[in-house]
Amino acid sequence: GHAMYSQNLPSDKYGTPLGESVSLGVHESQSRFWENFIGRSRPFWTYFFPLARSIFPGQLDHFTLDSFLQAINQVKPSFIRVEADEVTYNIHVYLRFVIEKELFEEKLEPENVPDRWNGLFQELFSMEVPNDTLGCLQDVHWSGAAFGYFPTYTLGNIYAAMLHERMRQEVPDMDALMERAEFGPILSWLKDKIHSKGQRYRPRRLIQLATQMEPSPRPLINYLEEKYAQLFHI
C-alpha cells in the first residue's frame, strides 16, 4: 500500500507539493487497506488459498477456507502491536497516544514510562507485561524521535474503512474481481481518488471528496461488526 501510493503520485509534479503524499494518516490508509480490507478478506483467499495449499504441500491440509479465515482473523489480545488483530489494534495505538500526551504535557517523566505502560496495558488488556521487550521498547518510533506517529495508524484504519465502503458502491463487482485476483480496478480507483491528487487537498478534504462524507469512525465500526459477526457466527 505504501509503495503503490508513492509509485502512483503525479510523476510530472515530482519535487513539488503536488507530487508528494498528503499525510502519514492517508499513507497508512493505503497500507492498512491492502493488508486488512483486501489481504484478510474472504474473496482474496478464495483465489489464493488453493494456491497456498499447492505451494506449501501438507502444511494447510487440515484447514478449510473457513477455518483458515478464522485463523488469520482471530481476535486475541497480544503484547505486540504489529501482531495485533484488527479489533484490538487500535487499543495498542490508544495506549501509546496516552503516554505520548502525558510526556509532552510533562505529566510523565521518561524514566517512568515502563511502569506507566505496564499499568495501562494491564488496565486495557488485562495482561501483565513480563518485560520491556514486550512492552515500551517494542517499537522503533520513540528511539527514532517519531513522536506523534502512532495515531496515524488509527487514522489510516478509519480512512481505509471509509474508502472501502465507498469503493464497494462504485466498484460493485469488487468481490468477484478479488476472487479472480484482478486487482487492477481496485488500484485504479485508489489512484484516481487518492494517489493522483498528491497534496492538492488537505487530508480531511481529500478523504471527503473520495468518500462523499466527513471523516468518521462509523464505517470502520460497521466493517468490524459485520465482518466478525459473519466470520464467527456471532
> What gap in Å lies between CA 161 and CA 151, rounded to an integer?
16
C-alpha cell at 219: 464505517
> What gap in Å lies between CA 94 and CA 30, rounded to an integer?
20
C-alpha cell at 9: 503520485
> What gap in Å lies between CA 177 and CA 180, rounded to an integer?
5
CA distances from residue 222 to 39, 90, 225 in whole angstroms, order as listed: 18, 15, 5
Q: Which residues contact 116 (CB under 8 A, 6 or more apart)?
A: 99, 102, 108
> What gap in Å lies between CA 30 and CA 156, rounded to an integer?
7
> What gap in Å lies between CA 143 and CA 198, rounded to an integer?
30
> What gap in Å lies between CA 196 and CA 22, rounded to an integer?
11
C-alpha cell at 67: 477455518
Q: Which long-range contacts (CB under 8 A, 24 or more apart) does 202-206 make?
A: 202/22, 203/22, 203/23, 203/25, 203/26, 206/22, 206/26
Instruction: For the chain, give every domain's residue range.
Output: 2-78+151-232, 81-134
The pLDDT assigned to 195 comes to: 98
SS3 61: coil
Q: With contact defined as beta carbons under 8 Å apart, do 54 and 233 qualify? A: no
pLDDT digits (tens, 9 = 90+) for 110-156: 999 999 999 999 999 999 999 999 999 999 999 999 999 999 999 99
Residue 7: exposure state from Cβ atoms within 10 A (0-12, 13-18, ≥19): exposed
C-alpha cell at 172: 460493485
Which parts of the chain sit beneath pLDDT 70?
Answer: none
Which residue's entry shows cell 480512512?
159
